[in-house]
Amino acid sequence: MIDIWRHDGWVSDARSSLYNGAVQGGSNGDNVFADAYVKGVRGNVNWDDAYSAMVKNAEVEPPNNNDPRDPTGSTREGRSAIPDWLEYGFITPRFGRSVSRAVE
Amino acid sequence: MPNLRSALMPSLLLTRTQGWNRAGPWTVYFCGKFDSPSTYKTFIGASLTTDELVEFSDEPTYESDSARLGALFSFNTDSVVSRVGVSFISTDQACSNLDSEIPEDMTLKQLRRETKEAWNSKVFSKVTTSETNVTKLNQLYSALYFMHLLPTNKTGENPLWESKEPYYDDIFTFWDIVSCATRSNDYMG
């Protein structure tokens, strides 16, 4: 996953057939990282890079891939409703799936 | 041996959609070997799904992302052994994957036995249980099986970039592992 962030720019959410998306609501890669870290996974894992991938999910708006299923933002990776989240602390309906994504 | 390359393109298979996750096109290369000599004819269709053929000939190579294509092999024996390798990188890599995993002298029986042994030693014997209820044992080992089925270890098979790190990917996602928690009545009988 960290290598995917290094090469694709974003950690995957529901990666399938060599492509990061479609996102499942939240940036669930973060949960996987946190769970692995808390359970003591170390070895060759570069946790500084993993943290960078998580910070990017939390702070940067991903580019819109214009998916007709949700044209309001990226369905490929990241949290496309970040602009509302950073400004208001919640997601307005100008973004698709605003409630479920806020929960995730 | 004819050279067939068929590009799997989720983006074109359904003109309405590029596949569930809107991925770009991706290609699977394959390399097949028979244990008996054969003659062949090749064909290419008018589209991906039609029975109608545009060509049916001795053409040794076809490449298309919009039409079904294939080869028809004829043998003089009753029984033929076929070995096929795949790769996301190239036909050469498909051939070397084949030769390293299913060498020429391997039998189907031996392959099945080795696969079973790999699953037993690397997955199923990692847990022990005193449970004797067959339904519950089926659930346990079925769940372990599905958990380890995907994502596929594609280290060395990633066409997108080279890296020292491992690479895992599949047509299903991490999310789909929820399917390994299946209902007990799926395993009755």
* ipTM for the predicted complex: 0.86
A18 to B161: CB separation less than 8 angstroms, yes or no: no
Count Cβ atoms below 10 Å from residue A79 Cβ, excluding itself: 27
Per-block mean pLDDT, blocks of 10 residues, chain B (189 long): 39 42 81 92 91 92 84 93 92 94 93 96 94 94 86 91 91 73 47
> Can you give the pLDDT at residue A49?
97
Interface contacts A/B by beta carbons within 8 Å: 63
> Can you give the pLDDT at residue A89?
93
B163 to A7: CB separation less than 8 angstroms, yes or no: yes
Does A15 score more than 70 pLDDT?
yes
The DSSP bridge partners found for residue B57 are B42
CB proximity B77 to A under 8 Å: no
Rounded to the nearest angstrom, the gap between the alpha carbon of residue B7 and the centroid of all alpha carbons in its chain is 14
Distance CA B159, CA B90 (A): 9
> Can you give the pLDDT at residue B24?
79
Cα distances from B130 to residues A4, B127, B133, B136, in angstroms, run 41, 10, 9, 11
Mean pLDDT value of segment A62-71: 92
Does A17 score more than 70 pLDDT?
yes
CB proximity B107 to A under 8 Å: no
E-assigned strand segments in B121-164 = 152-153
> Can you give the pLDDT at residue A77?
93
Range with lowest mean pLDDT among A17-31, A33-47, B170-184: B170-184
What is the band of A21 on the pLDDT scale with cuts at 50, 70, 90? Answer: confident
> Can you give the pLDDT at residue B10?
27
Which of A6, A10, A15, A69 is the best mutation test for B, with the most CBs of B within 10 A?
Answer: A15
Who's near B81: CB < 8 A, 6+ residues apart? B34, B35, B36, B108
The DSSP bridge partners found for residue B6 are B64
A7 to B21: CB separation less than 8 angstroms, yes or no: no
CB proximity B40 to A under 8 Å: no
List b or e across B104-122, with b for residues whose CB sees 16 or more CB atoms inside 10 angstroms.
eeeeeeeeeeeeeeeeeee
> Can you give the pLDDT at residue B188?
38
- In angstroms, the first-to-last Cα distance of chain B is 45
User: Any idea of the CA torsion for A64, A68, A71, A73, to the nearest 10 degrees?
Assistant: -40
> Can you give the pLDDT at residue B22?
79
A17 to B21: CB separation less than 8 angstroms, yes or no: yes
Range with lowest mean pLDDT among A5-14, A55-64, B119-128, B166-175: B166-175
**Which one has a higher pLDDT value, B149 or A88?**
A88
> Nearest C-alpha of chain B: how many angstroms from A46?
11
Residue with tokens 């990061």: A20
Does A90 score more than 50 pLDDT?
yes
> Can you give the pLDDT at residue B180?
64
